[in-house]
Amino acid sequence: MPPRLSRPRRESVRRRLLEWYGKSRRDLPWRRSDDPYRIWLSETMLQQTRVETVVPYYRRFLERFPDLRSLALADEQDVLKQWEGLGYYSRARNLKRAAEMVLRDHGGRVPSDPEALGSLPGIGRYTSGAIRSIAFKQPAPVVDGNVKRVLARLLAEPGLSETRLWELAGQLVEGEHPDLLNQALMELGATVCVPRNPLCSTCPLRRGCAGAATGRPEDFPARAPRPPPRAVRALGGILRSRGRLLLMRRPSRGLLGGLWEIPSVPGDDPGTLVEALRERTGLGSRAGAALGEVRHVFTHRDLTLRVVELERDGGRKRAPAGDAEALWCGSAEIARLPLSRLMHKVLELAER
C-alpha cells in the first residue's frame, strides 16, 4: 500500500502542528523535565487515564519515589498504596518490577533502544515510542487514542487499520523535534479534536481535514460497541477481633491484584464464605447479621457485594493454605494497605 500522505502534505501538517503546539500546549508537570524516569512514570499513569486525574498522583508519587532507584528498592505494597484509586494496578506492579530490572541490568539508567525498552514489563509499543521520542528525542511514532482520532479524521477512511495508523504516525514524526511533534498530535486530540463536539473552527489542521469536510467528524474513527458490564454478586465478611479487622491480600494476578480486601467469595452463600475462610486461614466462623450491600461497577463487571458480620467460631485447625496472606488490622494498619474503591465503600459500611 502506498503512503497516504504526500511529502508536501506531510510537511504542511508537521509545520502547523508544531506551530500550534508552541502556543497552545498546556503546562503539565511532566513537561517540565526530560528525566526519562519521569517521562516513563507519566506515560504509565496516563495509560487509559485522563490528564486531570493523573496530575495529583504524579506529584505524590514523585515525592515518595523521586528517582528510579528509590522505586526499585521500595516495597511493592508502598508502591501500590501510592497507586491506590488510580486503577489498572498491574501498571504499578509492572513499573516497580521494571525499575528493578533497569537498576540491575542497565545501571539504573532507562535504556533508549527499542529492544531493551520493549522487554520491560508494562512498556508496549506506545509507551516505548513515547519514552524514545519525548525523553531521548528519537523519531519514534506513538499511536494512542488521541493520535488515532486525529489521523482517522484527517483521512476519513472507513477501514483505517492499526498498521496504517502506525505507518502514518511514523511518517509524521520523521524530522525535527519528534518529542514536540508527538505531543502536539496527542495534545490536539485531547483539547481540540475531541471525541464529541470537536472544535474544528480552531483546529490548525482544519484545512485539508477530510473528516471535517464530511460534516460529521465524530463518525471517525468508527467505534466498536462495548457490551455492558455483566452483573455479578459476591459475599464478603467482616470479622473483628479486639478492635481489629481481618483483611486478606488478593492474588497478584487478575482483578485488583495485590490489593487487600475483606474475605470474599463469588455468589451469595454464607456457607461458602465460612468454608473459604477456613480453607485459606484455618479460622472458624459463622455468619452473623447482614450489614448491607455495596455496588461497584468496573469496566466489564457490575458487582454487588453483600456484606455480613462474621463471628469467630473455633480455632485454627490447620495452617493457612498456599500464598494466602491474612492480617489482623487496626485503623493504622488499614491506612497503610492498598485498597480498592470498592473496599473503601465496604469499610464505610462496616463503620456504621
Partner DNA sequence: AAGCCGGGGTA
Partner DNA sequence: TACCCAGGCTT
Binding-site residue total for DNA (CB under 7 A)? 58
d(CA 281, CA 272): 14
342: closest CA among 266, 281, 230, 262? 262
Write down the least CB distance from residue 29 to DNA, Å: 10
Q: Site residues for DNA, window 188-247 (CB under 7 A)?
A: 189-190, 195-197, 223, 225-226, 228
- Binding residue (CB under 7 A) for DNA from 24, 77, 94, 112: 94
The beta-carbon contacts of 75-79 under 8 Å, at least 24 apart in sequence, are 76/258, 77/258, 77/336, 77/337, 77/338
Of 149 and 306, the one with the shorter C-beta distance to DNA is: 149
Q: Which stretch binds DNA (CB under 7 A): 85-93, 107-115, 198-206, 309-317?
A: 85-93
Task: Tell me: does residue 81 bind DNA (CB under 7 A).
Answer: no
| Lookup: cell for 85 | 484509586
| Lookup: cell for 35 | 528525566
Q: Which of the residues 43, 84, 187, 261 is marked catalytic?
A: 43
Task: Tell me: does residue 88 bind DNA (CB under 7 A).
Answer: yes
Give the 3-state secondary structure of 293-348: EEEEECCCEEEEEEEEEEEECCCCCCCCCCCCCEEEECHHHHHHCCECHHHHHHHH
d(CA 122, CA 44): 8
Q: Site residues for DNA, window 166-195 (CB under 7 A)?
A: 183, 186-187, 189-190, 195
Just list the catalytic residues: 43
Residues forming the site for DNA (CB under 7 A):
28, 30-31, 42-43, 46-53, 85-90, 94, 121-128, 130, 144-146, 149, 162, 183, 186-187, 189-190, 195-197, 223, 225-226, 228, 254-257, 296, 298-301, 340-342
